[in-house]
Structure 1
Amino acid sequence: MLSSPDVFAHRILQWVRHVPELVKNFLADQCICLQIRLVIQGEAYESCFPSWSGPARHSSFNLRGPHSSFVRQFDCHSPWYPNESVAVRFQVLLNFGLAGLLVLLGGCDRRATSDASTPPAQTLATPSTTPLDDLLAYALAPHAGDTSADREIRRLQDRVRQARDPGPWIERLGWAFVAKARASFDPGYYRLASHCADALEQRNPGSPEGQLLRGHILHQEHRFREAEPVARQLAKERGLAADFGLLGDVLMEQGRLNEAAEAYQQMMDLRPDLHAYARGAHLRWLKGDLAGALELIDMAVGAASPQSPEAAAWVTTRLGQLQLQAGNREAAEQACQAALQFQADYAPALLLRGRLLLGDQQSTEAIAALQQAVRINPLPEYQWTLAEALRAADRVDEAEAIEVALDRTGASTDPRTYSLYLATTGKFPDLAVRLAAAELDQRADVFTHDAVAWGLAAAGKNSEAWDAMQRALAEGTLEPRLFFHAAIIARKAGHAKEAEIWFERASES
């Protein structure tokens, strides 16, 4: 179902489906006015990004932070806002008429005049050479499950089988697999989504829809350097909010925060919604602006909808984490409860709940929450937290069983966190260094630099560890773990004054 505020937008969308492809491309890509583009793309946003939660609120957004390198402020508004005026609707109709006239006059396809030096999108992400029927066979294999996401996957599979032109349905099916991967924490669904991206590429080489899907999958697989040229091409040639969001994500993971901020600013200009607010909040937090991060994550929560429970749970959990860091424990607990109301089995919220309960010395209840979280999402961060809680409760045998599972899979499922675990526990410090260094090749953000520093310190390479720690602290990120590591490493490296400063920062956080 469309998220359009009224029947007017729905009727326009129905008309757009039947106009020549050239007109659609012109209206979507040339963007005569922002209202037109969002009307045309609205259904794609809802279907391709299942976590999108509806109209964004009128708000003011400013990525300015104490460590930000650029300053821009603007008014965020959305043409999907329910109280849009008749004048805006008239403008939409008028611009449709002007667009049609320009199409008749010719010269409306900007792709013909694009920079010849820019390589086509299909050269940036190589699709599979598997025959199309085989790719679809993977994606259309019988799917089980009783959740709404499972039912949506089966519905879209049927539409792909039945449609004369299955392309749009293949795209939606790909994003449905992405949504299932996010909700279930099962990365296998990204492989099915990848088959859909390959199928789109084979049907239409250079398809931006296929490239966006592929770029998102590369990002989820932590192949950030491979995803970057895909995102840049999309942002340059098509320039939708989702394209700039992907570009900002892959730049941020590589530690290039100022470039990421520019991409997110473009995203916010085009579509201020939950996803833009959440990204802005995370960027502000990375830049050391906790108050600004709370402001934006609160806006993201306000834009959330029960119709997209995973996205709502995601931003509400993040609100709880930031509130906890700000010392607002009651607000953190309220956010955690709200997140679990959106999605009762949401692993990040269960992890937060376990940590809150541990802080309240309620070890039995905390362990129960953490065990549930580990069953859903058995990643090192979850397993490590549960093992520590079990040891604190003197349930050593259970803790050791969790640690065995962590050692068995940690290096492959989350090498950075596993590296931190090895360095903290003193197990295999050389392996900790190798894992963190390998991660640095793809993910050069402050937390990977921290993992490198912590591993080097565990291996006794204190001078190198202190140098790496400086890079981890460079952005001013307000993270107590960074401060604690900095204090320990400074003391080991013989920097007593710096150690005292960072111990104090850690105790205040």
Structure 2
Amino acid sequence: MKKIAHPLPFLAVCAAVAGLAFLVWRGIHAEQPLPQQTVAPAQPLDALRVALTPHTGETALDRQIRELQAKVDGGPNRNGFLERLGWAFVAKARLSSDPGFYTLAEEAAKAIMGDAPDDPAALLLFGHIHDAEHRFIEAEKIARRLVAQREFVFDYALLGDALMEQGKLAEAVEAYQRMVDLKPCLQTYSRVAHMRWLKGDLAGAIAATRLAVSAGNSREPEPTAWAYTRLALYQLQAGQVQAATSNTAFALQIAPEYAPALLMRGRLLLAEGRAGEAIAPLRQAAEISPLPDFLWTLAEALRANGGSTEAEQVEERLLETGATADPRTFALFLVSRGQAIGRALQLAIAELDSRQDIFTHDAIAWAQFASGRVGEAQESIRLALAEGTQDARLLYHAGTIAAAAGNPAEALEFFNKAHAFQQMLLPSERKALGQRTAALIGAQGQISSSK
């Protein structure tokens, strides 16, 4: 794949367009009939009943959902309001980390398709739900149908996202470039930032994410909070801890119970060696979003603060739910703990059915290394490193595998790169990185003194 230092020439565009996060309004572009549908036939009446299930909650988004349900139930333009309701459910799912709202969004889309089977707005909603559920191949199929028929910015967002998760970065860049051409906005800048980070361009990722946050506003809390959280993550990697802390606070001001921002606050505190203070935000984040990444980080903070008993309880929950909630991260956790290595390898390899990106190859490499299959691990980590991504965990794994393969100079080079970003690692990983580096340097010293 051709490497690009500045993959998208959008930075010359100065306008900060504050578009809605995922709310795709009917009628912005002329819509044409699409080919035969690939989505399962809907049962419109049943789907409508489910979508109109009475909703509770007191946030602005909760009130918006109830208002839209009332408009769907009692007024004209039912499909238009169903579309808006579906996107409101998507936003609620992302804010609350409750996947049940994706089911409600899907039912809203099915209700639309009961009247109009080839409705592009409903298909786009379906596609984003598939993407959120890691059904990337299905999401790509829907996106390609849409972009073949019309020029709409969020069709290309869906296509780029699905391609990126499958490791098709060159094609994803093309889709994101088309997004930029159509409408530079928060969603565009955020995607470009992530692509630049994947390519090893941290400064470019920070610059693009600054544009993303400048295009956000409190009326779309989830994507704006997400952009601030991503900016904080990139700034932490760049060693800009104070700026990262401020931007995390901005994210939580916009969305006070936003799990990714709470996780980011905990990670910042862990990076500063303040494990005791990290526990509260990490515990809250894990309660809202009990995914492996959240539970694992909480367990690390508890252990680093001497709370091994509670850490074991958190890890027990992770062992019960991790394989279904996020198999790839769970596989990394198992290997890092030296548990069920065979199962970890199976889970990581199974991820290739939906995700062929660098992080899946990294998880496979880590499990292969732990299984003693060092030669295979070398090939897998080579695929993980192919885009030049500067990720501390990936570099730590690469160094460990190189050392096991008998390549100490290469291993030390990877370890040194990982040390530059060691604040991004969990406490146990930082400790292991230091131990492996010291052991490697010690072995090299013994070889030199014996000559």
Partners of 1:402 and 1:70 in 2: how far apart?
Answer: 41
Tell me the alpha carbon deviations over residues 250-295 of structure 1, each in whole angstroms, 9 at most, x when there is no partner. 0010111111011001001111000000000000000111111111
* Structure 1 runs, 4 residues or longer, greater than 4 Å off: 68-75, 77-81, 109-112
Q: Which residue number in structure 2 is paired with residue 446 of structure 1?
A: 358
Q: Which residue number in structure 1 is paired with residue 437 of structure 2?
A: none
Residue of 460, 466, 474 corresponding to 2:378: 466
TM superposition shift of 1:414:
0.6
Q: Which residue number in structure 2 is paired with residue 97 of structure 1?
A: none
Residue of 187, 191, 197 corresponding to 1:279: 191
381-390 vs 303-312, greater mean Cα deviation: 303-312
Residue of 154, 173, 184 corresponding to 2:96: 184
Flag the 1:333–1:111 CA change in 2: closer, same or farther, 3 A.
closer
Residue of 300, 308, 313 corresponding to 2:212: 300
Q: Which residue number in structure 2 is paired with residue 126 of structure 1?
A: 40
Residue pairs, 1:335-346, within 5 angstroms: 335-346=247-258
Give the residue type in structure 1 aligned to 2:402: A
Residue of 281, 302, 310 corresponding to 1:369: 281
Q: Which residue number in structure 1 is paired with residue 128 of structure 2?
A: 216
TM superposition shift of 1:367:
0.7
Flag the 1:168–1:416 CA change in 2: closer, same or farther, 3 A.
same
Q: Which residue number in structure 1 is paired with residue 171 of structure 2?
A: 259
| 2:262 is aligned with 1:350 | yes
Tell me the alpha carbon deviations over residues 273-324 of structure 1, each in whole angstroms, 9 at most, x when there is no partner. 0000000000000011111111100110111111222221110010100001
Q: Which residue number in structure 1 is paired with residue 13 of structure 2?
A: 76
Aligned sequence identity (%): 48
Contact between 1:286 and 1:477, CA under 8 Å: does it hold in 2?
Answer: yes
Flag the 1:69–1:363 CA change in 2: closer, same or farther, 3 A.
closer
Contact between 2:16 and 2:214, CA under 8 Å: does it hold in 1?
Answer: no
Flag the 1:396–1:252 CA change in 2: closer, same or farther, 3 A.
same
Q: Which residue number in structure 1 is paired with residue 65 of structure 2?
A: 153
Residue pairs, 1:64-103, within 5 angstroms: 67=4, 72=9, 75-76=12-13
Contact between 1:449 and 1:471, CA under 8 Å: does it hold in 2?
Answer: yes
Contact between 2:6 and 2:204, CA under 8 Å: does it hold in 1?
Answer: no
Normalised to the residue count of structure 2, the TM-score between the two structures is 0.87
Give the residue type in structure 1 aligned to 2:38: L
Tell me the alpha carbon deviations over residues 105-158 of structure 1, each in whole angstroms, 9 at most, x when there is no partner. xxxx9959xxxxxxx444333333x2x111101111111111111111111111
Per the alignment, in what secondary structure is the counterpart of residue 148 of structure 2?
A: helix
TM superposition shift of 1:492:
1.1
Give the residue type in structure 2 aligned to 1:498: E
Give the residue type in structure 2 aligned to 1:397: T
Partners of 2:403 and 2:205 in 1: how far apart?
Answer: 31
Give the residue type in structure 2 aligned to 1:204: A
Partners of 1:368 and 1:216 in 2: how far apart?
Answer: 32
Q: Which residue number in structure 2 is paired with residue 141 of structure 1?
A: 53
| 2:334 is aligned with 1:397 | no
TM superposition shift of 1:201:
1.4
Partners of 2:97 and 2:76 in 1: how far apart?
Answer: 33
Flag the 1:68–1:121 CA change in 2: closer, same or farther, 3 A.
farther
360-369 vs 403-412, greater mean Cα deviation: 360-369
Structure 1 unpaired stretches of 5+:
1-64, 82-108, 113-119
Contact between 1:76 and 1:269, CA under 8 Å: does it hold in 2?
Answer: no
Partners of 1:369 and 1:400 in 2: how far apart?
Answer: 18
Contact between 2:37 and 2:117, CA under 8 Å: does it hold in 1?
Answer: no
TM superposition shift of 1:72:
4.8
Residue of 417, 423, 437 corresponding to 2:349: 437
Partners of 2:186 and 2:408 in 1: how far apart?
Answer: 44
Tell me the alpha carbon deviations over residues 71-101 of structure 1, each in whole angstroms, 9 at most, x when there is no partner. 75684366979xxxxxxxxxxxxxxxxxxxx
Partners of 2:70 and 2:230 in 1: how far apart?
Answer: 36
Q: Which residue number in structure 1 is paired with residue 430 of structure 2?
A: none
Structure 2 unpaired stretches of 5+:
19-29, 422-451
TM superposition shift of 1:231:
0.3
Q: Which residue number in structure 2 is paired with residue 315 of structure 1?
A: 227
Flag the 1:71–1:184 CA change in 2: closer, same or farther, 3 A.
closer
Tell me the alpha carbon deviations over residues 37-75 of structure 1, each in whole angstroms, 9 at most, x when there is no partner. xxxxxxxxxxxxxxxxxxxxxxxxxxxx95469675684
Residue of 416, 420, 430 corresponding to 1:508: 420
Contact between 2:106 and 2:129, CA under 8 Å: does it hold in 1?
Answer: yes
Contact between 2:6 and 2:196, CA under 8 Å: does it hold in 1?
Answer: no
TM superposition shift of 1:232:
0.9
